[in-house]
């Protein structure tokens, strides 16, 4: 047992273990960061300032108007580890006090299934139930003064209570802000007979839950869930992307004549080399350099033949010019002009010789008369006009041909299918004969325009068709590419998350197993103590099924005289009771519990006398590290502590008229030692050694116990570790070191103990201590008046216990 | 807690064994077990007395049981003294009638018998050295 107890005591809280393991692990940095983030998130960032992290001990309980307690009753405890028995007859108000502690903390009472936890029955006192109130003063590790938990009721309803919490240096806040809700359930520091009953009569799954909760894996499971959720989201996205790929590929294959689709296909379907850049380029619609067909199509779609109207007009104009020339055929513009010149010269001759009407050339008389003159003049004008028309017509033909040939253009790129008609059209430029030109050009233009139209229409249709399919695909491809990009980006995150989750899961199962082992060990140890001569051996306690399984259960295997059997079936009522205690006690005292105290209401019922001895030992062991408050009407437990010489504080509850409940301390470790010393002092005629050695030894124990009490309380206030105190207790200089801790809060002051004792308690006190210590030396101490000596020691012990008002 | 008849530790242990294992006409099983407890307790007391007599000659016969067991702490290992006291208390419970309790069982008395034996060995070994 001591070893196990040690084990349990030194088991660090889960968060610490996990942080340490994380720091030690060989995980890559990013994985560690993820884990740290997930683990820290546990607090959800809403840590109230009053939240308590140090271990809590009970300092006092003040109750009024609650159940069997009328006017103010007070139970004072030493807020430190140790066993406290609160004894009293049935009906003395004992259970009301026990209840008050639980109700103070939880506002409810443990209830059997079918009962309402908020129903209090006759919960307020009949005599003084007007103003029910429960006040619990708590000593919290590291706090220099006490915190106060106050619960009051706003109405006659049991469920209408409100609790506040006041921690030194903090404002009064609702109790919930102390942050104990989970711990109150998981590590329930209250154990009543009903609890024991529930532990055994409840469903197997409830037993499972009761034990699983204390394995305290919430921190890990919350973090695991947090990471798993992220991991699942990422994995789902990646899967969605992978699942969409075959469909996308099929669609791209369907467009295999589209270079874009082919490129996209290559980009998405090259294993291990997803080419997102190409996809982006495709999505952006940038013209690809090597897509000849598409380029061809685009050119075809842009192909425009000659403007037929223009060509027709030009041809028309040329034809008209040609017709004009045709009309003037036979009219020689030159000869007409020469004739006109000749006639003009003849007219000029007549003008010079008005009276000479003989023709100078043929000599005929009387031909150049008036009549001839007029005729010749008209003829000159006609001839001149004729000559001009012939010239104009000719130049019109030239202009027409030129205009028409100018309409023939050769584009930068000629689509392949239009090469021939375009060539014919272009060749028209070479035709010199305007008649031929007019004929050929018009024909070529019409053929080409026709061919262009056809080519363009079909190209446009094809482009449209392609674009339609493509743009439909583009949407799909874009969506897929987005996912693919995310997946690609989150790839390392996902892998890190997986690593983190795996690490957490492994750690969880490992720690869980270890904790369960520890728990089982503790349970078996307690069972060993309690069973005494029972022939039922508790062979195993284990959790069966996962936390979410419907069939989960707590398996308790036993063996009866070597025969394996389920514990619950073979145990007697008393044994079951012991078994429940064996399960409950380790549960309430795991290292994760913030509660340094444990309240047990009447655990002795239905126990054999020998089991009571076992229980006393168990409680004593637990009392080394926990403040155990046991309420009992059975005197056997107290007797068992005395018989086994185990230190214990006994408080007696008595009830007077009008529910006046009083609690008096009737025994404690100091008083026990003093009582023993007194027993020696009272025995007459003992050999000298009894007074010189035994008596001082017992007195020394009384003083040491007093110092220990003061030391513990001081140490707890300073938030010192339990181990330091334990080291002092285990050392050879135990008395000095404990005294130094009590007086200075520091074992280093061993050499100053004497002067401090002299200063605080006068020189006489130091003499008493010296005398007590001499009892351990061969020479012994010389004590003249044993009774007086014991009384002096007792007085000094009481002074030592009173804490210094300074802190 | 003092014994007036000259009894030996060995004789008492033998008596205890007989009471435990043999039938005695007209005596109930519980009665025999109680008797065994009584005898065992006497044997333990005798042994404690002998130990103290060696360590503290002149210890008055009238010394109370509590004082004796306290004195024992000084002259033997603390754990042995504590066990002696615990066992003495258990045997005391076993040999008295308690209104609401059943008598000790065979197994319990057997266990106590073994513990008495062990303590006698330890105490005598220590006093002899």
Are A533 and B70 a contacting pair at CB < 8 A? no
Q: What are the backbone dihedrals phi and psi of residue A153, each rounded to the nearest 5 degrees, phi first?
A: -115, 140
pLDDT confidence of residue A629:
94
Q: How confident is the model at residue A587 (pLDDT cuts 50, 70, 90)?
A: confident
Closest chain B CA to residue A639: B89
Q: How confident is the model at residue A241 (pLDDT cuts 50, 70, 90)?
A: confident
Q: For residue B17, is pLDDT > 90?
A: no
A262 Cβ contact list (under 8 Å, min separation 6): A252, A255, A256
Q: For residue B3, is pLDDT > 50?
A: no
Q: For residue A797, is pLDDT > 90?
A: yes
Please provide the DSSP assignment of A529-598 as one string: HHHTT-SEEEEEEEEES-TT-TT-EEEEEEEETTEEEEHHHH--HHHHHHHHHHHHHHHHT-TT-SB-EE
A124: which strand partners?
A66
A310: which strand partners?
none
A34-43, A671-680, B98-107, range with greatest mean pLDDT: A671-680
Q: How far is CA A720 from CA A16, A255, A466, A745, in A?
A: 17, 77, 80, 9
pLDDT confidence of residue B99:
56
pLDDT confidence of residue A110:
67
Closest chain B CA to residue A686: B59
Nearest to B86 among A644, A680, A687 (CB): A644
**Chain B partners of A686 at a C-beta cutoff of 8 Å?**
56, 59-60, 63, 67, 71
How far is the first Cα of chain A from the last one, in angstroms, to the nearest whole number?
Answer: 36
Q: What angle do CA A531, A537, A538 make, to 5 degrees?
A: 95
For residue A501, give the 3-state DSSP assignment. helix
Q: How far is CA A538 from CA A517, A554, A557, B119, in A?
A: 14, 13, 6, 28
Closest chain B CA to residue A681: B67
Residue B11 to chain A, least CA–CA distance (Å): 26
For residue A31, give the 3-state DSSP assignment. helix
Calpha distance B48→B42 (Å, rounded): 10
Least confident of A289-303, A308-322, A759-773: A289-303
Strands ordered across the beta sheet of A649-655? A190-191, A597-601, A627-632, A82-87, A649-655, A661-667
Q: How confident is the model at residue A88 (pLDDT cuts 50, 70, 90)?
A: confident
Which of B121, B126, B109 has the alpha carbon at shortest distance from B73?
A: B126
Q: For residue A628, is pLDDT > 90?
A: yes
A698 Cβ contact list (under 8 Å, min separation 6): A673, A674, A676, A677, A680, B70
For residue A311, give the 3-state DSSP assignment. helix
**Chain A partners of B82 at a C-beta cutoff of 8 Å?**
644-645
Are A680 and B89 a contacting pair at CB < 8 A? no
Calpha distance A713→A80 (Å, rounded): 6
Q: Which residue has the higher pLDDT, A286 or A741?
A: A741
Closest chain A CA to residue B54: A687
Find where tokens 């010393």 sit.
A677
Which structure tokens are listed for A596?
């340094």
Are B111 and A533 a contacting pair at CB < 8 A? yes
Residue B81 to chain A, least CA–CA distance (Å): 10
Share of chain A above pLDDT 90, in %: 11
Q: For residue A804, is pLDDT > 70?
A: no
A69 Cβ contact list (under 8 Å, min separation 6): A63, A93, A96, A97, A100, A125, A659, A661
pLDDT confidence of residue A284:
73
Q: Which residue has the higher pLDDT, A613 or B118?
A: B118
Which of A407, A404, A401, A410 has the alpha carbon at shortest distance from A432?
A: A401
Q: How far is CA A578 from CA A82, A567, A644, in A?
A: 21, 12, 20
Q: For residue A742, is pLDDT > 80?
A: yes
Residue B63 to chain A, least CA–CA distance (Å): 6
Q: How confident is the model at residue B51 (pLDDT cuts 50, 70, 90)?
A: confident
Q: What are the backbone dihedrals phi and psi of residue A204, each rounded to the nearest 5 degrees, phi first?
A: -55, -35
**Chain A partners of B98 at a C-beta cutoff of 8 Å?**
609
Chain segment A492-532, per-residue pLDDT in tens: 888 888 888 888 888 888 888 888 888 888 888 888 888 76
Calpha distance A26→A333 (Å, rounded): 113
Nearest to B70 among A680, A684, A687 (CB): A680
Which of A756, A723, A753, A755 has the alpha carbon at shortest distance from A740?
A: A753
pLDDT confidence of residue A790:
93
Q: How confident is the model at residue B116 (pLDDT cuts 50, 70, 90)?
A: very high
Identify residues of B whose CB sits under 8 angstroms from chain A CBs. Answer: 55-60, 62-64, 66-67, 70-71, 73-74, 82, 85-86, 88-90, 93, 98, 101, 105, 107-108, 111
pLDDT confidence of residue A444:
87
Mean pLDDT for chain A overall: 82
Share of chain A above pLDDT 70, in %: 91
For residue A689, give the 3-state DSSP assignment. helix
Closest chain B CA to residue A532: B108
Q: How confident is the model at residue A83 (pLDDT cuts 50, 70, 90)?
A: very high
Are B60 and A686 a contacting pair at CB < 8 A? yes
Which of A452, A547, A510 has the alpha carbon at shortest distance from A211?
A: A547
Which of A165, A164, A163 has the alpha carbon at shortest distance from A140?
A: A165
Chain segment A46-64, per-residue pLDDT in tens: 444 566 677 899 999 999 8
Closest chain A CA to residue B110: A533
* Number of Cβ within a 10 Å radius of residue A773: 17
Residue ranges of A 477-536 with Cβ closer than 8 A to chain B = 532-533, 535
Chain segment A115-171, per-residue pLDDT in tens: 555 555 567 776 766 788 999 999 988 888 889 999 998 887 888 888 999 988 888
Strands ordered across the beta sheet of A56-64? A73-76, A56-64, A133-140, A147-153, A161-166, A173-174
Q: How confident is the model at residue A7 (pLDDT cuts 50, 70, 90)?
A: very low
A285: left (phi over 0), alpha (psi -120 to 50) or beta: left
pLDDT confidence of residue A777:
83
Q: For residue A548, is pLDDT > 80?
A: no
A634, A646, A685, A695: best to mutate for the B interface, most B CBs within 10 A: A685
A751 Cβ contact list (under 8 Å, min separation 6): none
Q: How confident is the model at residue A767 (pLDDT cuts 50, 70, 90)?
A: very high
């Amino acid at each position: 047992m001591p070893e196990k107890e040690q084990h349990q005591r030194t088991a660090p809280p889960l968060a610490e273990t996990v942080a340490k393991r994380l720091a030690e692990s060989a995980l890559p940095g990013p994985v560690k960061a993820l884990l740290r983030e997930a683990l820290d998130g546990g607090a959800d960032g809403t840590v109230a300032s009053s939240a308590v992290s140090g271990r809590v001990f009970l300092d006092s309980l003040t109750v009024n108007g609650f159940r069997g307690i009328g006017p103010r009753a007070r139970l004072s405890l030493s807020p430190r580890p140790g066993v406290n028995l609160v004894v009293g007859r049935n009906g003395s108000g004992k259970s009301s006090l026990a209840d008050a502690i639980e109700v103070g903390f939880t506002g409810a009472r443990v209830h059997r299934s079918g009962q309402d936890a908020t129903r209090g029955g006759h919960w307020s006192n009949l005599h003084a139930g007007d103003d029910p109130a429960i006040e619990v003063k708590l000593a919290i590790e590291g706090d220099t003064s006490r915190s106060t938990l106050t619960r009051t009721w706003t109405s006659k309803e049991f469920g209408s209570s409100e609790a506040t919490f006041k921690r030194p240096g903090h404002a009064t806040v609702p109790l919930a802000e102390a942050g104990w809700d989970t711990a109150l359930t998981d590590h329930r520091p209250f154990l009543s007979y009903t609890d024991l009953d529930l532990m055994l009569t409840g469903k197997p799954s409830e037993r499972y839950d009761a034990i699983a909760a204390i394995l305290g894996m919430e921190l890990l499971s919350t973090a695991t869930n947090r990471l798993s959720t992220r991991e699942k989201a990422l994995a789902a996205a990646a899967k969605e992307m992978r699942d969409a790929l075959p469909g996308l590929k099929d669609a791209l294959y369907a467009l295999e004549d589209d270079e874009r689709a082919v490129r996209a296909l290559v980009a998405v379907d090259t294993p291990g080399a997803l080419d997102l850049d190409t996809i982006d380029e495709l999505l952006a619609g940038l013209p690809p350099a090597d897509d000849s067909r598409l380029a061809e199509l685009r050119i075809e779609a842009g192909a425009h033949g000659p403007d037929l109207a223009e060509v027709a007009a030009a041809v028309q104009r040329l034809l008209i010019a040609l017709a004009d020339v045709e009309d003037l055929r036979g009219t020689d513009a030159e000869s007409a002009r020469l004739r006109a010149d000749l006639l003009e010269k003849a007219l000029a001759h007549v003008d010079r010789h008005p009276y000479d009407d003989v023709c100078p050339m043929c000599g005929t008389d009387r031909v150049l008369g008036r009549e001839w003159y007029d005729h010749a003049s008209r003829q000159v004008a006609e001839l001149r006009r004729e000559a001009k028309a012939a010239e104009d017509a000719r130049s019109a033909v030239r202009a027409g041909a030129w205009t028409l040939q100018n309409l023939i253009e050769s584009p930068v790129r000629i689509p392949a299918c239009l090469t021939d008609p375009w060539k014919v059209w272009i060749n028209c430029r070479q035709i010199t004969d305007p008649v031929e030109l007019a004929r050929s050009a018009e024909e070529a233009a019409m053929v080409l325009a026709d061919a262009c139209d056809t080519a363009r229409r079909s190209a446009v249709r094809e482009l449209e068709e392609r674009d339609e399919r493509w743009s439909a695909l583009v949407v799909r491809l874009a969506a897929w590419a987005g996912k693919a990009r995310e997946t690609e980006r989150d790839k390392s995150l996902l892998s890190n998350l997986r690593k983190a989750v795996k690490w957490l899961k492994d750690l969880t199962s490992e720690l869980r197993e270890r904790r369960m082992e520890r728990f089982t060990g503790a349970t078996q140890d307690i069972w060993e103590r309690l069973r005494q001569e029972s022939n039922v051996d508790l062979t195993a306690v284990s959790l069966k099924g996962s936390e979410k399984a419907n069939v989960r259960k707590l398996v308790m295997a036993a063996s009866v005289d070597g025969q394996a059997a389920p514990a619950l079936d073979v145990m007697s009522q008393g044994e079951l009771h012991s078994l429940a205690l064996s399960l409950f006690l380790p549960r309430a005292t795991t290292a994760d519990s913030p509660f340094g105290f444990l309240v047990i209401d009447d655990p002795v019922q239905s126990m054999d006398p020998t089991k009571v001895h076992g229980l006393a030992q168990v409680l004593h062991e637990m009392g080394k590290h926990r403040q155990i408050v046991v309420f009992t009407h059975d005197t056997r437990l107290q007797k068992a502590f005395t018989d086994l010489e185990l230190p214990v504080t006994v408080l007696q509850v008595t009830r007077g008229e009008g529910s006046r409940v009083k609690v008096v301390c009737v025994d404690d470790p100091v008083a026990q030692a003093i009582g023993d010393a007194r027993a020696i002092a009272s025995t007459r005629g003992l050999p000298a050694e009894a007074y010189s050695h035994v008596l001082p030894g017992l007195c020394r124990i009384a003083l040491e116990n007093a110092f220990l009490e003061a030391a513990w309380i001081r140490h707890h206030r300073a938030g010192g570790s339990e181990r330091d105190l334990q080291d002092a207790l285990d050392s050879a200089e135990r008395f000095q070191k404990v005294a130094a801790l009590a007086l200075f809060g520091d074992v280093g002051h061993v050499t100053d103990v004497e002067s401090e004792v002299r200063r605080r308690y006068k020189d006489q006190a130091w003499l008493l201590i010296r005398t007590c210590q001499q009892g351990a030396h061969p020479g012994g101490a010389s004590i003249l008046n044993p009774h007086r000596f014991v009384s002096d020691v007792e007085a000094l012990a009481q002074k030592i216990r009173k804490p210094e008002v300074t802190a | 807690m003092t014994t007036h008849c000259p009894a030996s530790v060995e004789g008492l242990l033998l008596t205890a064994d007989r009471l435990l294992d043999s039938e005695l006409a007209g005596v109930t099983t519980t009665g025999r077990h109680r008797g065994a407890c009584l005898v065992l307790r006497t044997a333990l007391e005798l042994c404690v007395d002998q130990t103290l007599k060696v360590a503290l000659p002149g210890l008055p016969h009238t010394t109370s049981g509590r004082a004796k067991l306290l004195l024992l702490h000084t002259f033997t290992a603390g754990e042995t003294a504590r066990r002696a006291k615990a066992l003495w208390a258990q045997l005391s419970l076993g040999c008295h009638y308690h209104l609401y309790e059943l008598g000790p069982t065979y197994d319990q008395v057997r266990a106590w018998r073994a513990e008495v034996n062990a303590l006698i060995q330890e105490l005598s070994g220590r006093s002899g050295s």
